[in-house]
Amino acid sequence: MRLHVIGLGGAGGRIADRLAGEHGDAPFLAGAHAFDTDMDALGALNALGEERRYRFSDAAGGDGLGGDLHAGRRLGDAHASELGRAMDDQQPSLAEAFLIVVGLGGAAGAGAAPALAAELSRLYDAPVYAFGFLPAHDETVEPDDDGPPSAASAAAGGAGSPGDEPAPPTTHRPLAERNAARTLDALSDECAAVFPFDNGAWIRPSETLAGARERLNRVAVERIAALFGAGETPEGTATPQQVLDASDIARAVGSDGQIAAIGHATQAVDAPDSGSRFGLGLFGSSEPAEVDTSAAVSAIETVIRKATRGKNTVEVSEGHADRTLLVIGGPPAWLNREAIADGRRWLAEETGSDAILSGDAPVLDGDAVSAVVVRSGIDEPDRLREIRETIE
């Protein structure tokens, strides 16, 4: 699908910038912009050119908003049309979906996100999705409070081996959880679906959020690209048997602002020694490649189970979901049809979903088999419940 990504605020801008740097030439990335009130945050971006970075609101004086979500909402309402026009250079009317990426505990990005989502929905027929980072616990406690290991480790410099530079301390944001709760509610009203990313669940015991940020950003970009890039293959490559398009993703995640989780897993495999590049008859070849069937079945089963039961972008209670999407990728010779069908059946039992949507993403020169599992309409994760309780 043709996806237009908008990074709002510091966290969102870093993700949009990384997507542009790592996937700027990929067919799925139709456009990428970063919008912020903070000049320094925009200036720190590397891959997005100046024409893709835009500071809005002179009222912020070129700085952030210090956690004031209400000020962010006012700025969003006042500047949503302006931000929509700032995207025109990349022809957003051609996009099949928009993805707003934002730190949910902030003020500028979180405040502006609902208004921008509403503006994009007004202007275009394509669905608007949100990918939002949940605040970690050590952002909301005072530095000398008794907190989880990640907070305590800040004084020791966070993660790293002996001799490494100490990680910068995590910023104290006492309003982050309340901002996140209010922003989640607002985005659910304006977006087709919301993909939360639970920072706290991904931080290792010895890390601070600041020390883990690079790794977490890498995981987030990997999962965004794995999902939204699955249906787009460069010209001259293998054609998927089950083509995944924008309507399939829309059907899987829904249109009522529900919470969705992304699971992803890969397993390295050997390239087939000989035979057709389309192997195992998956694409109608009469010359199967020399890939052991049991090895292909094992690889596909492994990645499906890891993507489902491994760490998702947000917790999926008991694995259940109203709707589920499965995408299997890798060298065509490894994409065994029977194994994929068995995986679908297992996934249906695991999630309790009435129907499993699926697609494949063949990679001719790939060296790994991968699975993307997206579940929507999940029971509210514990972390989201904790955050929502801060405003009850």
Annotated binding-site members for GTP? 139, 199, 217
- 3-state class (DSSP) for residue 369: strand
Residue 226 and residue 307 in contact, taking contact as beta carbons nearer than 8 Å? no
What is d(CA 268, CA 201) in angstroms, rounded to the nearest whole number? 26
**What's the rounded Cα separation, in Å, for the pair 309 and 311?**
7
| Binding-site positions | 139, 199, 217
**353, 385 in Cβ contact below 8 A?**
no
Place of tokens 């599992």: 373
The three-class DSSP label of residue 156 is: helix
Say how far apart CA 179 and CA 135 lie, in whole Å: 9
What CA–CA distance (Å, rounded) separates 223 from 294?
28
- The residues, any chain, with a CB within 8 Å of residue 36's CB and separated by 6 or more, are 8, 9, 10, 13, 42, 53, 55, 56, 108, 109
Contacts of 256 (CB under 8 A, 6+ apart): 192
